Amino acid sequence: MRPWLRLLDDEQRPRLVETAYPNLVVWSSLWPRRPDALVRFELASDGLAGTELCWTLLVDEPLPDPSLLGHLRKRINQLINGNLRDTFGQ
């Protein structure tokens, strides 16, 4: 497991659902209670020496209540924009 992918007790390690090298990665759900919740990562060159990353949380109907949706988004943000980003330059 990746050292930055520190999962909570109610989370599971994602699988790769789709890839299109080098621009797209789609993860399976991190949450067993919402197996439909995919995480789509789109990558693009920033035109310099870096990469722009956009992640999108995709869920089926019925949408999670606002509290759960906020939690799911916050967790992805912590894992990707926090934990993963903190590993750069180490």
**What residues make up the domain containing 7?**
1-11+23-62
Of the candidates 15, 68, 54, the residue with the CA atom closest to the CA atom of residue 38: 15
10 Å CB burial of residue 11 (0-12, 13-18, 19+) is middle
Global confidence as pTM: 0.88
90 lies in a domain?
no
Does residue 86 lie within any of the structural domains? no
* Segment 27-64, tens digit of pLDDT: 999 999 999 999 999 999 888 888 899 999 999 999 99
Q: Is residue 58 part of a domain?
A: yes
Asked whether 52 and 44 are in contact (CB, 8 A), the reply is yes
User: Which position has the higher pLDDT, 86 or 20?
Assistant: 20
Asked whether 30 and 75 are in contact (CB, 8 A), the reply is yes
The answer to whether residue 70 sits within a structural domain is no
Domain-located, residue 45: yes
Number of domains in the chain: 1
